[in-house]
Amino acid sequence: MKIVTAKEMQDIDRTAIDDYGIPGIVLMENAAKGVIASLFKKFPDIKDKKVGIFAGKGNNGGDGLAVARLLANEDISVTVYLLSKKVLLKGDTKTNLEKAEESGIKIFEIVSLDELEAVKDNILKNDIFIDAIFGTGLTSGVKEYYTDVIKFINSSKKIVLSIDIPSGLSSDTGEIIGEHIRADMTVALCLPKIGEILYPAAEYAGELDVVNIGIPELIINNKDIKINLIEERDAVRILPKRRPNTHKGTYGHLAVIAGSRGKGGAAALSSISALRAGAGLVTLALPECLNISFEVGIPEVMTFPLPDTKDGTIDKSALDILIKFLEGKSAVLIGPGITTNPSTSSLIKNLIKKVSCPMLIDADGLNIIADKIELLKDKPSPVVVTPHPGEMARMLNTTSKEIQANRIESSRKLSAEYGIYVILKGARTIVATPEGEVYINPTGNPGMATAGTGDVLSGIVAGFLSQGLSARDSSILGVYLHGLAGDIAAEKLSQTALIASDLIKTFPEAVKRVERDCFAPA
């Protein structure tokens, strides 16, 4: 599903009206019908409720006025609080105001703090508030009495449904730009907006329901919209289907270069996760000092011991050994738990120059190349990197705060500049491709903010890479299933108690949920 900015949505609306002859009033009516459907779905007993609608003077207010009329047609008690003088309304919004008045709906004009105070008791008699104040057009914080109205709505403790986007939030960024509605539910019209998907703003959208307003899909497909929301149907499309006449060699041989004394857990988590993702063979190249424990502890993973330093990390003398080791491998994962020991760092930088198979770099591998990221340019096979915001900041020579404030653009910049695939981890993990496409992942939860979950992710994505999936598809499928496994684990164990190895245990159930739809009859 596409995710749009305010400008992109306005362009889609304009094309529908000007080029396809769909009247704006029809789109507004369809939007209202979508909101009504969401309301009835969310509140089956809504006919017993009183609804108060806060409407602005723009198109969002027009949507709200149309909703008021449709509610009145269902004999539901509804009152409109118009944050404008009636005479200022124009076009389709004015038309819907006139229709609402013809339906006998009570409409209060509120254009000052005094007028708000005068009707507060009436407002508080409602059970549900509908926010139709601003919509998607805001680029700066709300001002004047609008601030007081929004503060009052938020303090009322009533259930709030926002139309298209909570008033006061920007459509184009996940950042908070000022006072805003804290919605329990948002009904996005046609397509979701960036501010409803990216945090911290997304926290205030509540439950998100996207409704069709009658814009032909062809219009959307013809627009060059680069930001996408990953959906289950994407995972269904990508997940490899196994054929009967196959063997372990069919599903690739992944090399994992990971681990050091004290950080063997990262190597274990990533290696096992790759097998869970379906890799036919996984060989873990690790410091010799760790080899015995891994041979005994993880029987499914083959090991390849390497010369080690006195600190228990992989020594730079292993370069030629590793180059030979990588011959014939389907893909390689580099980085979990290797440390930034100078000898190990020298090894990794020199090794990356020689790698020709698909490669995923994570964790300490990213810290090692942060000052030599040009090593990733023009590789013969795709490169995937999986930084958290701190690692990304080092790679772009900026701060974590800047990365978090510009997650989409930071990911795009790194991806395009070096021709690599970027998975920026965090709340709403982002996948960026060298072509400028961005995919935002909706699965996952705060319980996954714990040590080792990134190692699990790198193993999953590398496991798909080793099976021959493209870097793009491996990344999209990997982040979706990783987050879904986290959601299943949280359901079973709670977010607080969740640990990284739980994701490996619940990953098969995540795959099964997608497989059910893969193999469902058409």
The C-alpha angle with vertex 454 and arms to 352 and 200, in degrees rounded to 5, equals: 120
Is residue 516 very low, low, confident or very high in pLDDT (cuts 50, 70, 90)? confident
Which tokens hold the place of 401? 């705060």
**How far apart, in Å, are the Cα atoms of 145 and each of 58, 112, 444, 516?**
16, 6, 38, 52
How does the average pLDDT of the chain come out, rounded? 96
b/e map 94-123, b = 16+ CB within 10 Å? bbbbebbeeeebebbbbeeeeebeeeeeeb
Report, as an integer, the average pLDDT of 20-41. 97
- State the Cα–Cα distance between residues 194 and 408, nearest whole angstrom: 10
Whether the pLDDT of residue 519 is over 70: the answer is no
Which tokens hold the place of 366? 């990213």
Q: What is the pLDDT of residue 520?
A: 55
pLDDT tens profile 112-125:
999 999 999 999 99
In terms of DSSP bridges, do strands 421-424 and 430-432 run parallel, antiparallel, or are they unpaired?
antiparallel
| Percent of the chain's residues with pLDDT above 90 | 96
3-state secondary structure of 295: helix
- State the Cα–Cα distance between residues 263 and 341, nearest whole angstrom: 13
3-state secondary structure of 512: helix
Residue of 438, 354, 421 whose CA lies nearest to 385:
421
Q: What is the pLDDT of residue 139?
A: 83
pLDDT tens profile 191-211:
999 999 999 999 999 999 999
Task: Specify whether the CB–CB gap between 297 and 419 falls below 8 A.
Answer: no
Q: What is the pLDDT of residue 63?
A: 98
Which tokens hold the place of 101? 């008045």
Q: What is the pLDDT of residue 336?
A: 98
DSSP assignment letter at 153: H
CB count within 10 Å of CB 275 equals: 19
Is residue 296 very low, low, confident or very high in pLDDT (cuts 50, 70, 90)? confident
Q: What is the pLDDT of residue 144?
A: 86
Task: Specify whether the CB–CB gap between 354 and 330 falls below 8 A.
Answer: no
Residue of 461, 453, 455 whose CA lies nearest to 499:
453
pLDDT tens profile 399-420:
999 999 999 999 999 999 999 9
- State the Cα–Cα distance between residues 219 and 490, nearest whole angstrom: 39
pLDDT tens profile 58-88:
999 999 999 999 999 999 999 999 999 999 9
Those residues with Cβ within 8 angstroms of residue 222's Cβ, 6 or more apart along the chain or in another chain: none
Residue of 156, 135, 70 whose CA lies nearest to 105:
70
Amino acid making up residue 161: L
Q: What is the pLDDT of residue 343?
A: 98
Amino acid making up residue 266: A
Give the global pTM: 0.95
Over its C-alpha atoms, the chain yields an Rg (Å, rounded) of 27
**Alpha-carbon dihedral sign for residues 223, 225, 230, 236:** positive
Task: Specify whether the CB–CB gap between 335 and 361 falls below 8 A.
Answer: yes
pLDDT tens profile 215-266:
999 999 999 999 999 999 999 999 999 999 999 999 999 999 999 999 999 9
Amino acid making up residue 518: C
- State the Cα–Cα distance between residues 179 and 164, nearest whole angstrom: 17
Q: What is the pLDDT of residue 39?
A: 96
- Tell me whether the omega of the peptide bond preceding residue 216 falls within 30 degrees of 0, making it cis: no
Whether the pLDDT of residue 157 is over 70: the answer is yes
Q: What is the pLDDT of residue 85?
A: 97
Which tokens hold the place of 151? 């503060």
Is residue 518 very low, low, confident or very high in pLDDT (cuts 50, 70, 90)? low
Task: Specify whether the CB–CB gap between 166 and 130 falls below 8 A.
Answer: no
Which tokens hold the place of 254? 């992944």
pLDDT tens profile 448-481:
999 999 999 999 999 999 999 999 999 999 999 9
- State the Cα–Cα distance between residues 269 and 459, nearest whole angstrom: 7
Whether the pLDDT of residue 50 is over 60: the answer is yes
Please write down the HEC assignment for all residues of 90-104: CHHHHHHHHHHHHCC
**How far apart, in Å, are the Cα atoms of 21 and each of 143, 191, 451?**
36, 20, 55
Is residue 89 very low, low, confident or very high in pLDDT (cuts 50, 70, 90)? very high
Which tokens hold the place of 22? 């769909």
Whose tokens are 């795009």? That residue is 412
Whether the pLDDT of residue 521 is over 70: the answer is no
- State the Cα–Cα distance between residues 369 and 55, nearest whole angstrom: 53
Whether the pLDDT of residue 447 is over 80: the answer is yes
